[in-house]
Amino acid sequence: MEEDTGVLPRKESFSEWYNEVLWRAEIMDVRYPVKGLYVWYPHGFGIRKRAYGILRDLMDRDHAETMFPLLIPKTEFMKEAEHIKGFEDEVYWVTHGGTSELDVPLALRPTSETAIYPMYSLWIRSHTDLPLKLYQIVNTFRYETKHTRPLIRLREITSFKEAHTVHATWEEAAAQVEVALDLYKEFYDSLRVPVIISRRPNWDKFPGADYTIAVDTIMPDGKTLQIGTAHMLGDHFSRTYDITYEDANGERQYAYQTCYGISERSIAAVISIHGDDKGLVLPPEVAPIEVVIVPIIVGKRRDEVLAAAKGLEEELRNARFAVKLDDRDMRPGAKYYHWEMRGVPLRVEIGPRDIDANTVVAVTRTGKKITLDRRGVVEGVNSVLAEFGEEMGRAAHQAMADKIVVAATLEEAAAAVKTGVAVVHWCGSQECAEKIEAAVDASILGSDIRSDLITVSDGPCIACGGKGTSALVARTY
């Protein structure tokens, strides 16, 4: 739309960089006239579309997709006491239809437990109906009073993938939470986003859950971003919404449930983890354009070069690459700038010299230049892209490893969280958590850590000296 020619802030000024890259790379427009609501530009939505395609394929292996209504009657919403307490300040209420007041106000779902579980109560009769594993990708709403931020803290979460499962036993439900975490790990592996999985402290769990296990990544500024959660609901909701089944002995039992979700924070992570001073850097798996072809046009061989570029485009498209020929009447340098900002993994240049030599020049988004044989171009592009994706993964993994510091004292932890995450020993008590949080000026993120970046151990709590185990302390988004 508007062509931008300005300069992006350096990525080390992360907050400014993030805000600027969102519009310069055409991810989100923040000028929509309501706080906390943003517009997806087509390029940003293209990333979302590919990423959620991956997520859908993962879910479809073992879940069925469905869709429940956005509007939840107040009467249903108010049934589960803990759950309401967690959300009551954040819910948008529809009170009028046309000019008349509604008899029962309707909540815009902040999450769908209270919409889905009354139906589960109708659907589940027998143990043969279990397990039930459904998911939906929908918009949800939170009346955020804190500072809002595109893709990260929103009033309309446009892309909430929420799964809701029902099981016969507590153990099966607990096992499903682990299955969910494996799926999420696999999802973020495709996005080349390194994650740390940990169990949230009890006071930070999902309202109404037995426990919550979360997936976090570390942003360039060292703050953690929660990019996925899995909740063990036990039988709290099944008792409230009367979700029971007849077991093999003909006895009625309460069911056990889980729910787990991922939002467009996943896209925020891709952008933030991989981007650089020139703009986005997209993993080939989620790039709306994987390859851009830039013809290098020299006066008299113009038609020949354009024809060669079109031939190349067609060949790559037939090989199922997301390819774009940029034949605009502009300097190549301006085109490079344009596509680098938008994160296109590979640029292929073709000019008279390449035609003569029967080659093309491939340049990755991070500047690696490879001359490819024109005849084997599909294989060549394929292997350059595969290697590029792998390299992105390694670089992101290293960058994240560099942000994790093992801290033996409160002072070391306080220093560590200025640029990353501290791993400390903690006894698990809320009292010590409060002491640590006050001294370090950061939060206890979680314990029971699963990450190939962190070696977990037992040791004395850094607050009380009692028996402790590894926990994460971080500033969080």
Q: Which is nearer to a copy of itself, 48 or 403 (CB)?
A: 48
Show Cβ contacts of residue 199 under 8 Å, excluding neighbours closer than 6 positions. Answer: 211, 212, 213, 214, 446, 447, 448
Cβ-contact 443, 118 below 8 angstroms: no
Is residue 339 within 8 Å of 292, Cβ to Cβ?
yes
Determine if 86 is a binding residue for a copy of itself (CB under 8 A): no
* Residue 64 C-alpha from the chain's centroid: 21
Q: Residue 39 interacts with a copy of itself (CB under 8 A)?
A: yes
Which residue is listed with tokens 């769990």?
Answer: 205
**Contact between 40 and a copy of itself (CB under 8 A)?**
yes
Rounded to an integer, what distance in angstroms lies between the CA atom of residue 269 and that of residue 55?
Answer: 15
**N- to C-terminal Cα separation, the chain:** 31
Q: Is 57 in the site for a copy of itself (CB under 8 A)?
A: no
Q: Does 402 bind a copy of itself (CB under 8 A)?
A: no
By CB under 8 A, residue 81 contacts a copy of itself: no
Among 93, 171, 334, 402, binds a copy of itself (CB under 8 A): 93
Which contiguous run of DSSP H or E holds residue 211?
A: strand 211-218
**Per CB under 8 A, 452 contacts a copy of itself:** no
Q: Say if strands 369-373 and 39-40 run parallel, antiparallel, or are unpaired.
A: unpaired
Question: If binding is defined by CB under 8 A, does position 248 make contact with a copy of itself?
Answer: no
Nearer to a copy of itself, 287 or 424 (CB): 287
> Do 381 and 369 form a contact (C-beta atoms < 8 A)?
no
Span of 41-49, 331-339, 393-401, 433-441 interacting with a copy of itself by CB under 8 A:
41-49
Which is nearer to a copy of itself, 131 or 194 (by Cβ)?
A: 131
CB 376 within 8 A of CB 313: no
Q: How many residues at the interface with a copy of itself, by CB under 8 A?
A: 60
Distance, in Å, from the CA atom of 199 to the CA atom of 343, rounded to the nearest integer, reads 34
Work out which of 5, 6, 31, 299 binds a copy of itself, going by CB under 8 A: 31
Does 170 participate in binding a copy of itself (rule CB under 8 A)? no
Taking the least distance from each CB to a copy of itself, the nearer of 105 and 428 is 105
| Of 5, 6, 34, 250, the one binding a copy of itself by CB under 8 A | 34
Q: b/e for 247-272, b at 16 or more Cβ within 10 A? A: eeeeeebbbbbbbbbbbbbbbbbbbb
Options 4, 76, 172, 247; binder of a copy of itself; rule CB under 8 A: 76
Residues 127-146 that bind a copy of itself (CB under 8 A): 129, 132, 134, 138-139, 143, 145
Q: Which of 12, 16, 71, 368 binds a copy of itself (CB under 8 A)?
A: 71
Whether 217 and 445 have beta carbons less than 8 Å apart is answered as no
- Assigned token pair, 383: 């292997």
Q: Is residue 16 within the footprint of a copy of itself (CB under 8 A)?
A: no
Query: CA 56 to CA 67: how far, in whole Å?
Result: 14
Question: Using CB under 8 A, which of the segments 93-101, 186-194, 276-284, 318-326 binds a copy of itself?
Answer: 93-101
Q: Is 69 in the site for a copy of itself (CB under 8 A)?
A: yes
The single residue among 4, 14, 58, 70 that binds a copy of itself, judged by CB under 8 A, is: 70
**Min. distance of Cβ 119 from a copy of itself in angstroms?**
6
Q: What gap in Å lies between CA 224 and CA 167, rounded to an integer?
A: 32
Name the residue among 301, 299, 215 with its Cα closest to residue 265: 215
* One-letter amino acid of 247: D
Which of 14, 41, 254, 337: binder of a copy of itself (CB under 8 A)? 41
- Smallest distance, a copy of itself to C-beta of residue 450, A: 31
Among 12, 16, 75, 379, binds a copy of itself (CB under 8 A): 75
Asked if residue 90 binds a copy of itself (CB under 8 A), the reply is yes
Find the binder of a copy of itself among 111, 158, 258, 470 (CB under 8 A): 158
Interaction with a copy of itself in 107-126: which residues (CB under 8 A)?
108, 115, 118-119, 122-125
Examine residue 238 and tell whether it contacts a copy of itself (CB under 8 A).
no
Q: According to the binding rule CB under 8 A, does residue 318 interact with a copy of itself?
A: no
94 binds a copy of itself (CB under 8 A): yes
**Which secondary structure element, helix H or strand E, spans residue 214, and what is its range?**
strand 211-218
Taking the least distance from each CB to a copy of itself, the nearer of 156 and 276 is 156
Measured CA distances, 126 to 119, 131, 229, 245, 254 (Å): 15, 10, 29, 5, 11
Q: Going by DSSP bridges, is the β-strand pair 291-295/323-325 parallel, antiparallel, or unpaired? A: parallel
Least spacing, CB of residue 37 vs a copy of itself, in Å: 4
In one-letter notation, the amino acid at residue 53 is G
Among candidates 1, 281, 45, 288, which has minimal Cα distance to 159? Answer: 45
**HSE, side-chain direction, 13 A CA sphere, residue 253:** 20
Q: Could you give the CA distance from residue 148 to residue 357 in angstroms, rounded to a whole number?
A: 54
Smallest CA-to-CA distance from 224 within 276, 273, 158 is with 273
Of residues 15, 85, 95, 430, which one binds a copy of itself by CB under 8 A?
95
Q: How far is the CB of 169 from a copy of itself (least distance, A)?
A: 20
Site residues (vs a copy of itself, CB under 8 A) = 1-2, 29, 31-34, 37-42, 45-46, 48-49, 64-71, 73, 75-76, 88-99, 105-106, 108, 115, 118-119, 122-125, 129, 132, 134, 138-139, 143, 145, 155-156, 158
